[in-house]
Amino acid sequence: MFLSVTFDQIWAHFADIFSIIYVITIIFTVIFVILQNRNPIKTISWVIVLVLLPVIGIIVYLYFGQNYRKAKIFSRKGISDYQKIEKLSKIQIKKLPDRKFLKNPKLKEKLNIITLLLNNSKALLSEKNKVKILKNGKQTFGSILYELENAKHHIHIEYYIIANDNIGNRIKEILKRKAQQGVEVRLIYDDVGSWSLKKRYVRSLQKAGIEVKCFMPVRFPFLTSKLNYRNHRKIIVIDGEIGFVGGLNIADYYITGTKKLGPWRDTHLRLEGEAVASLQVVFLIDWYFITKKLIDGEKYFPENKVVEEHLVQITASGPDSDWASIMQSYFVAITTAKNYIYISTPYLMPNESILTALTTAALSGIDVRIILSEKFDSKMVYWSTMSFVRDLLEAGIKVYFYQKGFSHSKLIMVDDVFSSVGTANLDYRSFDQNFEVNALIYDERITSELKKNFIEDMTNSKQMSLDEWIKRPNANKIKASFARLFSPLM
């Protein structure tokens, strides 16, 4: 009896101490959230979650709530190459009014986008470029394999998903062979995106002399917020002269499609010229972030030989950037459009700024069209996307659902002269949490070709009317509204 009472007393005392610590933790977490000076609605939402669901709320906040861009945990300020870029961007801003491309009135209208990206991400404007559009996996990997085989000095690869399948192994064997020939090969893969990549795949590359690095490895997924900040970039740089960027990861289904989703529709770019140097910088900064080793030198930035004139800016956005540069570029492109805005995105969960920009543009008489996929690889993402469709339809935006498989392209075309192709979706994750990279192109011919592909995709899509949305079963509307609450987390 004595021992029992003593134990009960000890337990009661422990419970009291735990309760005090628990309450103090909640109070300090709430204060911390408030002091971050975020959007008031988002702040209030987090406070409610923390108060009503204290234990779960703290865990969820650690995963999804912290603002790493504001915290500057991934700062690039100390990197010498980045400091050089900062200086060059300031020079470009001063000289912009004298650039000859401004004689084209359509290009002149997009000067504010160029200036924005020079300021918010130090995205240098390059003029001497050759841009080739690759509209599916077969074209993309055909070009990638050919260029890898012809590499002479170095190959830099950075991907969200690398699969241990047919295309993954074909690329692996080429990389091993090139390394044995004396070509420098460096590869970055994301730990979450490439979760299923076997260690033997990585070891096979390393044994061949290839430097392989995992981006932000997650060893204890339930105890770290790293799970939420992933490298979604898809970059290849070959000899500093040829680059690839776009929506396709390294996996067979990007070529063949899947049984569930059907054929895969995507868009990638092959770049040759000055813009490749900007892609190279993005890779080398990420390499430095992982290894703390700075790879630089003229051999990684050879003299440009391209004479074609396609204006390109490469902008990278993520927790390592001071501003949400890709989101801001979308915002300015949308709000300054004069005639039309065409968008293709697999995931549509825009923040309030982008949603307002789109609906305002449509209500102002701009022709706004968006292609989404009829089939989704996530039910929750599908329902969340559908919740935003009504807002778009009510504003007069034409919404199409692609029928011939899964549309994974991330495209924006504006006014026959501006286009963006890259890795960023129109959602919270791409804007705030993931490391992304886009190529912004100021060129009538390239935009015209992308527009032609977009119109072809429209013919393979079904347009949804507002009446159709309203007549959907109430159960579907409830699912959509519920999923929308979690759109910032998806």
**Catalytic residue positions, numbered:** 232, 234, 239, 408, 410, 415
CA 122 to chain centroid, in Å, comes to 18
Q: Among positive and negative, which fits the CA dihedral 126, 129, 134, 138? A: negative
- Cβ distance 22 to 50 under 8 Å? no
Q: How far is CA 388 from CA 125, 293, 357, in A?
A: 34, 44, 14
Q: Are 349 and 490 within 8 A, CB to CB?
A: yes
The pair of structure tokens assigned to 261 is: 């989703």
Q: Which residue has the tokens 């060059």?
A: 88
Quote the DSSP letter at residue 382: H
Query: How far is it, in rounded angstroms, from Cα 221 to Cα 277?
Result: 35
* CB-based contact 188:231 (threshold 8 Å): yes
Structure tokens given for 83: 């400091």
**Count of CB atoms within 10 A of residue 417's CB?**
23
Do residues 312 and 441 lie in contact, with contact meaning Cβ atoms separated by under 8 Å?
yes
Are the CB atoms for 156 and 186 separated by under 8 Å?
Answer: yes
CA nearest neighbour of 336 among 235, 441, 278, 415:
415
Distances from the Cα of 285 to the Cαs of 282, 293, 313, in angstroms? Answer: 5, 9, 17
Taking the C-alpha atoms of residue 440 and residue 418, their distance in angstroms, rounded to an integer, is 7
Angle between the N-to-C axes of helices 166-180 and 137-149, in degrees from 0 to 180, rounded to the nearest 10:
10
DSSP state of 258: B
Reading the block at residue 404, the tokens are 């011939």
DSSP letter, residue 374: S
Closest of 16, 467, 436, 466 to residue 233, by C-alpha: 436
Q: How far is CA 250 from CA 194, 305, 436, in A?
A: 10, 29, 16
User: Measured between alpha carbons, how far is 367 from 81 in angstroms, rounded to an integer?
Assistant: 41
Q: How far apart are CA 64 and CA 91, in angstroms?
A: 38
